[in-house]
Amino acid sequence: MIRVSSAPGPSDRLIHVFIGTKAQYVKLSPLLKRLRAEGVPYRLIDSGQHARVSASMRAEMGLPEPDVRLGGGDRDVTSVPQALRWTLGVARHLVSGARLRREVFAGRGGVCVVHGDTPTTLLSALMAKRAGLAVAHVEAGLRTHHWLHPFPEEIIRVAVGRLADVLFAPDSGAAANLARTGVKGRVVVQSGNTVLESVRAAVASGEDLAGIGTGADAGTGPAVVTMHRVENLHRRPRLRGLVDLAADLASCGPVRWVLHGPTERALAGGLRDRLAAAGVELTGLAPHDQFLAMLAAAPFVITDGGSIQEECALLGTPTLLWRNRTDRADGLGRNVVLSRYDPAVVGDFLADPGRWRRPVSIPEVSPSAEILDGLAPWL
């Protein structure tokens, strides 16, 4: 089902922003707010991948309702069967380019902004090209150089890179990856990732984040644990390994495990009972500013999330990545340690996580302004 809430304006060319996950809302909200502040018309298309979370993110960040909502439901996609049904439901719009352009893109041309490496990213890029629009890929060029780690993200990055007409690389390393890949689109090297603007705004305005800039609350809260990646949730030794580690850590100090939807399913039953019995606090997803406050106040963070890695790198929080590879360099060698699931690396980090803490460091740059400049041909 498609729900359309607004009619197109007189010009054929327009910016279409196509997103559908929590991280995409966090990272593209600076661009959406800049478009609104500068009076640049755009259309927001929500894929429905994280329908419920996306609605709460729009309310939290003061963003408008989408012009088009796909997916036909109000639930988040949290399981493989749900993901298959959602993908088939959205992909059916690819059958007719003319109908796709009319129903999803309101009969308008221009450029479609896609973000990152999620199923929404690939589907939105394919839909834009099928409808005859240009594609602008934000956060392009991140690579692990291994097709299956992470899966399917690495494949999606490469595929969307080949479809894109303009690619916004968050740093020189990402730009070099794109050059090696031989993408045909124009590459724009940015001064950073848009997430830094979201973090900077939260630190500047949020009461929950008061004192972060001075480090006043650093290390005073519970340790924070998160896990949501396919390569961890569907490999029992990795999932069980983090559960056991969190349970052991809870005997030494408070531990808070923030649960994503897929993680709740993976932990159902004995693993969740093990964590609860050990005293691990199990909590659902929090508003973004509250979650940033948790990260900043934590003595350390254990996560497999790429966006959380970026946020912790900015906040200077000691962070252990529960991954074998990472596609981004944020914080590595500074306050972020890649575990590779190696007990020796994990033990060394946890022996003294405080030595990895660094001051908050958020550059005074505007990647969203750089994106808007790069979209000038379609304005």
Element (H, E) at 157: helix 153-163
* Torsion angles phi and psi, residue 300, rounded to 5: -165, 165
Walk me through the domains of the chain, giving residue ranges and CATH numbers: 3-192+365-378 (3.40.50.2000), 199-356 (3.40.50.2000)
* Torsion angles phi and psi, residue 2, rounded to 5: -115, 130
Classify burial at 166, counting beta carbons within 10 Å of its beta carbon; exposed 0-12, middle 13-18, buried 19 or more: buried
Tell me the pLDDT tens digit for each residue of 191-229: 999 999 999 999 887 656 655 655 556 778 999 999 999
Tell me what pLDDT residue 74 has.
73
pTM recorded for the entire structure: 0.92
Give percent helix, percent strand, percent coil of the chain, each to the nearest 5. Answer: 45, 15, 35
Cβ–Cβ under 8 Å, residues 119 and 49? yes
Say yes or no to pLDDT of 6 above 60: no
- Cα–Cα distance, 126 to 141 (Å, whole number): 18
Residue carrying the six token digits 């519970």 = 222
Tell me the pLDDT tens digit for each residue of 108-143: 999 999 999 999 999 999 999 999 999 999 999 999
Is it true that the peptide bond before 150 is cis, omega within 30 degrees of 0?
A: yes
Cβ–Cβ under 8 Å, residues 27 and 42? no
Q: Comparing C-alpha atoms, which of 205, 189, 186, 188 is closest to residue 197? A: 205
Tell me what pLDDT residue 9 has.
42
Phi-psi category of residue 37: left, alpha or beta, with phi > 0 → left and psi -120 to 50 → alpha: alpha
